[in-house]
Amino acid sequence: MILFPLYAAIVWAVAFAWRRTWAGALAVIAGSVAIVVLTRALQVLGLGGGGFLLLLIAESVVVGGIGLVIVLSPRRPDFPHCHRCGHDLRGLDGAVLRCPECGTPRQDTPEGRVGKPAVRVDFERAAEEAGVA
Which residues make up the interface to Zn ion (CB under 5 A)?
82, 84-85, 87, 99, 101-102, 104
Closest CA to 61 of 23, 19, 28, 24: 28
CA distances to 32, 75, 99 from 7, rounded to whole Å, are 10, 23, 42
Q: Which residue number, 14 or 89, has a Cβ lying nearer to Zn ion? A: 89
To Zn ion, the closest distance from the beta carbon of 79 in angstroms equals: 14
To Zn ion, the closest distance from the beta carbon of 72 in angstroms equals: 23
To Zn ion, the closest distance from the beta carbon of 48 in angstroms equals: 53
Q: Which residue number, 37 or 85, has a Cβ lying nearer to Zn ion? A: 85
To Zn ion, the closest distance from the beta carbon of 117 in angstroms equals: 20
Query: Measured between alpha carbons, how far is 48 from 118 in angstroms, rounded to an integer?
Result: 53
The alpha helices in the chain, defined as continuous H runs, are 3-17, 22-45, 50-71, 123-130
- On whether the CB atoms of residues 80 and 43 are closer than 8 A, the answer is no
Q: Which residue number, 69 or 85, has a Cβ lying nearer to Zn ion? A: 85
Closest CA to 17 of 77, 54, 71, 88: 71
Q: Which residue number, 88 or 129, has a Cβ lying nearer to Zn ion? A: 88
Closest CA to 26 of 41, 11, 7: 11
